[in-house]
Structure 1
Amino acid sequence: MAEPQQAHVELVVKDDDDEKKKAAAEEDSGKHVDPATLICDPNLTLNDGKAYVITKRPESSSGKSHSEAAAADPTPIELVADAEEVDLNHCRVATMANFTVLQKAETIGLRNNMITRIEGISQLVGSLRELELYDNQITRIENLDELVNLEILDISFNRLTKIEGLEKLVNLRKLFLVNNKIEVIENLDTLVNLDTLELGANRIRKIENLGHLSKLTQLYLGKNKIAELENLGQLKALTLLSIQSNRIVSMKTGLEELTELDQLYISHNGLQEIEGLEKNVKLTTLDVAGNRIKRLANIEHLQQLEDFWVNDNQVEDWRNLEAVLGKLPALQTLYLERNPVAADPMYRKKLMLIAPKLRQIDATMCRA
């Protein structure tokens, strides 16, 4: 099969001086660059001091020459040297090699492109605060050591296999590495200012190496291969834990030190019983949907619980529901659909009698 043709786009550096822009335009007006002569390798760039050329693959280039493919998308992407926010999402950008020109950029968005390597931004030391590389083809975290002021980094939906190259990013607050091929939580010890860590949809089997993240408030570990709640005790500031779609069969231990926990999402595991929440009295949201729970228990002390998701389980005893739900004065939203009790024709009416303050049962709001 023939390789897809590649078109090219110029990244032009703008200058605020109108006279300079005018002179440059007049000088360049007499020049013509044949797109067929431009670089075709998506990892190479051409820099003549005025125009910054990167490779840009067209949406469809079957049967077209380089010149025809380039002509099909003639509009250049302009890099404004003084821009504080750079948005190049879904532009088929294949390289970052010339991004050093963005000396004032605070935010760079490169979502949904064709970038294979992190490069060209190591000189953006003083300005860059947020870098989004979501949905590219990056295989390694590298060349970020100089970006000591970076606060938000998103390299989700790439091809990473290891957490690395982040040791110098001591001001990082939010790190998103969703949907990669990461197997081990590691190399995060120096990120002491991290408050949000998203590692969902990877290949992680063990919760570990998080003890130094004392400021972490939100931890997302859903859709991995984790079998045990462990090594969470030092995350005293944690308010949200999402560990859905893993292999956990017991929650008896592991959560007792998380006294600030406000939201717990542990749906779609193998739980048979709700337990181990004696110290988590600040919980307002509890999601245990999609498990194997037959009876509600050990939640009567959760006096601040507002949202309780227990749908897709095996709850069948109305007397059990009355004994437990009747002791949750703050309960406003309850999901019980696809449990045996939901087959009762008086299902909604019975629940409203048990918990009069309910505002929503399953996906339907309650009538006043």
Structure 2
Amino acid sequence: MGPLEEELDLTNAHLSSLETVPLAENLTSLDLTANRLRDLEPRLLALTGLRKLSLRQNVLTTAAALEQSAFAPVLQELVLHDNHLSQANHGAPNLATMTSLTRLELSYNQIKSLSPLSVCRALSLRELFVSNNKISSLEGCRHFTQLTLLELGANRLAALDGIASFPDLRELWLGSNRIAGNPSLSCLMRLERLSIQSNRLCSMGGLCLAATMRELYLSHNNIQSIEGLDNLVQLRVLDLSNNALHSLDGIVHLQLLEDLWLNDNQLKDLHSVVQVLVKLKAHLSCVYLAGNPAADDDVSYRQLLPQLLPCLQQLDSDAVPGR
């Protein structure tokens, strides 16, 4: 059979059952996104060659049956995003038999603990998505030491105990948690993208970020000064909006910076702000400054910055005319 017969996309087909759906024995990819499936039916579980399975946006309350599926040892990508897991035991499915997984999506469920994953032997797992659950600890996933992406946004994390278990992380997403203090990430020497937006940080100095960083998102905290960026010379995106900054000391060496979000802080002196931005003009294409006292004279800074920043294409929410 050809590739079209090996891949079946039933997205938004309004299915509450697979009873009338032909399932070829040699299916390698099955997308059941946005249906009404409540159960994992025997015909699905009997498939032997599935490498990719998406059950996103259904109404599953448990995924335990997947552990006994015929395709469990060969499945590489599993998407259970936006279901109702696990209303009974509030834990992630253990997926013990899925030894080949490289990507697992469990976001937007009711999961309180990742502990059941501790028996999952998918040691080649690279990407794990568990945002918008009720997780308070990394316990249960620390053995996934080859992770390159970890998405834990919108959970109940107050600390990052165990983060050193993931030395290969390139992306770490922690927005909308309860992280306070100065969590050190010095162990993540390959990290390129980090989000700790909407947490409880008062300082950024203790993060100890690697020189590999490309994007850093720290908006909606209570950060009062810019610090700890001395070695981040590869940084392209810096989001410090909705904090308590009074100055831009600490960023003039970020010569590759393209996007700089500073809106809704306490920056008062437009002249001082402009002096810093001009030193970053080589690549700076997007600047957000609205919501600061320095931007109260709307006409002044909107006329001034495009003249001084030759690469500027966006100022606040508006495109720069003629660019």
Specify the TM-score bucket, using the shorter chain as the normaliser: 0.7 to 0.9
CA 1:143–1:294 in structure 2 vs 1: closer, same or farther (change >3 Å)?
closer
Identity %: 35
Q: Are 2:23 and 1:79 aligned?
A: yes
Aligned partner of 1:130 in structure 2 is 77
Q: Offset at 1:363?
A: 2.2
SS in structure 1 at match of 2:271: helix
More off after superposition, 89-98 vs 106-115 = 89-98
Give the 3-state SS of the residue equivalent to 2:250 in structure 1.
Answer: coil
Q: CA offsets per residue over residues 187-229 of structure 1, 9 Å max, x none?
A: 3332122100000000110122011211110000000011134
Instruction: List runs of 5+ in structure 2 lacking aligned partners.
Output: 6-13
The correspondence for 1:188, drawn from 128, 141, 152, is 141
CA deviation after TM superposition for structure 1 residue 113, in Å: 1.2
Q: Compute the displacement of 1:171 (Å).
A: 0.8
Deviation, 1:114, is 1.4
1:276 aligns with one of 201, 216, 228: 228
CA distance in 2, matches of 1:277, 1:237: 16
Tell me what 1:297 maps to: 249
1:127-178 CA distances to partner (integer Å, 9 max, x unpaired)?
3111110111112223411111111100111111111233411011110001
Contact 1:311 1:337 in 2 (8 A): yes
Aligned equivalent of 2:197 = 244
- The answer on whether the counterparts of 1:154 and 1:176 sit within 8 Å (CA) in structure 2 is yes
Equivalent in 309, 320, 335 of residue 288 of structure 2: 335
**Is the contact made by 1:309 and 1:335 (CA closer than 8 Å) also made in structure 2?**
yes
Counterparts of 2:24 and 2:75, CA distance in 1: 15
For these two proteins, the number of residue pairs brought into alignment is 299
Which secondary structure does the structure 2 equivalent of 1:274 belong to?
Answer: coil
Residue 89 (structure 1) aligns with: 33
CA distance in 1, matches of 2:210, 2:140: 23
The match for 2:267 among 315, 318, 329 is 315
Structure 1 unaligned runs (5+)?
1-15, 17-55, 59-72
Q: 1:101 and 2:53 equivalent?
A: no
Map 1:30-69 to 2 at 5 A. Answer: none
Do the aligned partners of 1:96 and 1:119 also contact (CA within 8 Å) in 2? no
The normalised TM-score by structure 2 is: 0.87
Of residues 300, 313, 316 in structure 2, which corresponds to 1:346? Answer: 300
Corresponding residue number in structure 2 for 1:200: 153
- Deviations 1:283-324, CA, capped at 9 Å, x for gaps: 110000111112211100111111101112222211211221
1:360 is matched with which residue?
314
Distance in 2 (CA, whole Å) between partners of 1:102 and 1:210 is 36
Structure 2 counterpart SS, 1:351: helix
CA distance in structure 1 between the aligned counterparts of 2:252 and 2:219, rounded to whole angstroms: 19
Q: Secondary structure at the match of 1:96?
A: coil
CA distance in 2, matches of 1:106, 1:268: 39
| 2:241 partner letter | A
After TM superposition, give the deviation of residue 74 of structure 1 in Å: 11
Q: Secondary structure at the match of 1:346?
A: helix
Cα distance between partner residues in 1 of 2:138 and 2:233: 28
Distance 1:177 1:92 in 2: 21
Matches of 1:180 and 1:294 in 2, distance apart? 35
Pair 143,186 (structure 1): closer, same or farther in 2 beyond 3 Å:
closer
Instruction: Judge which range, 300-309 or 185-194, deviates more.
Output: 185-194
Give me the whole-angstrom Cα distance separating, in 2, the residues matched to 1:208 and 1:154: 22
Q: Provide, for residues 90-123 of structure 1, a one-character-per-residue CA deviation record: whole Å limited to 9, x for no partner.
A: 2211122523212111111111111111123233
Question: Does the CA-based 8 Å contact 2:75-2:101 persist in structure 1?
Answer: yes
1:358, CA displacement in angstroms?
Answer: 1.5
